[in-house]
Amino acid sequence: MRTIDWVDGAVEIIDQTVLPGELRVLRLHTVGELVAAIQSLAVRGAPALGVAGAFGVALAARVHGDDPLALDTAVRKIETARPTAVNLARGAQRAAKLLPFGPEAVLAEACAIRDEEIAASRSMAYRGADLVVELRGDRPRLLTHCNTGGLCAVTVGTALGVIGELHRRGTLGGVIASETRPLLQGARLTSWELTQWGVEHRVAVDSAGPFLMARGEVDAVILGADRICANGDVINKIGTYAHALGARRAGIPFVVVAPESTVDVATPTGAHVEIEDRGATEVTAWSDAANPAFDVTPHDLVTAIVTDRRVIRLDRGQRP
């Protein structure tokens, strides 16, 4: 199934908040419904959010096509539903450029963005698998963080797509998926996807990752990104930075897999990115809390970035 698609005049998404207990498909008919789905993480993951942004503008064009002010307001709500992942605003803005040509032109552009992300996932899976074998040889044992499968990228995925490709080639040595606190995208979503694919794996608490690397149980870390800055700094789910430090200490590769649509050369470094805070209620009900959804991994801790078009070897001085 596709994480997100346009079906009979509405946006259909897999509700990621109820997995793995239930496979529920939601039909979203309004911009308000789509924005709520984005903010609740019913749909999430940088590539999928780019598609969601574009489909949201297609909804807005159908509902508010005769009201320019309402249309502009709707597009702005979509662009800003979540601030950190660059794909959401990019997808919305790209589709919005077609608004002067009518709703069908907007929808066609949104569908093109969807199809591009599907093709990008396939390309990343092949490129990333080749790179992992080049760096670590046959049967690598990989640690991944958050969820980077088809649930985040319409189909196939980014980093998890690479793991799936290695599994299909018969060259995967093992997978450790971190829980990913506080919403457990790893324990709930990544584990669910790996189970669907028949990939044996273990779930580890987030803080165990660097220790498992130090103990020699991990050959490489492979994960995704929500934004890649011009200098190679990587914005990804909170906990990524800790895994990068662990990988550097253990002397193993740290590989980021993300489509070109996530590379943001207009943002110089991670210090220029607004980091979304999810608020205290996801963590605790009786005190204040620090709950950043993302962190910044400095480029000097990243071995390589794999996109659908290229491999950027940051360890050799290359930059996006």
Catalytic residues: 226
CA 110 to each of CA 49, 97, 283: distance values in angstroms, whole numbers, following the listed order: 12, 11, 35
Going by DSSP bridges, is the β-strand pair 25-28/10-14 parallel, antiparallel, or unpaired? antiparallel
Going by DSSP bridges, is the β-strand pair 10-14/311-312 parallel, antiparallel, or unpaired? unpaired
* DSSP reduced 3-state for 57: helix
**The token pair that represents 126 in the structure block:** 């092949």
Nearest-angstrom CA–CA distance, 304 and 313: 4
User: Following DSSP, what letter does each residue of 87-108 receive, concatenated?
Assistant: HHHHHHHHHHTTGGG-HHHHHH
* DSSP reduced 3-state for 178: strand
- Nearest partner of 118 among 94, 89, 152, 147, judged by Cα: 152
Task: Give yes or no for a contact between 305 and 242, defined as CB atoms under 8 angstroms apart.
Answer: no
Rg (CA), the chain: 19
Cis peptide before 253 (omega within 30 of 0): no
- Nearest partner of 315 among 266, 224, 261, 253, judged by Cα: 253
Q: Tell me the one-letter amino acid at 246.
A: G
User: Following DSSP, what letter does each residue of 140-155 receive, concatenated?
Assistant: -EEEE-S--BHHHHSS
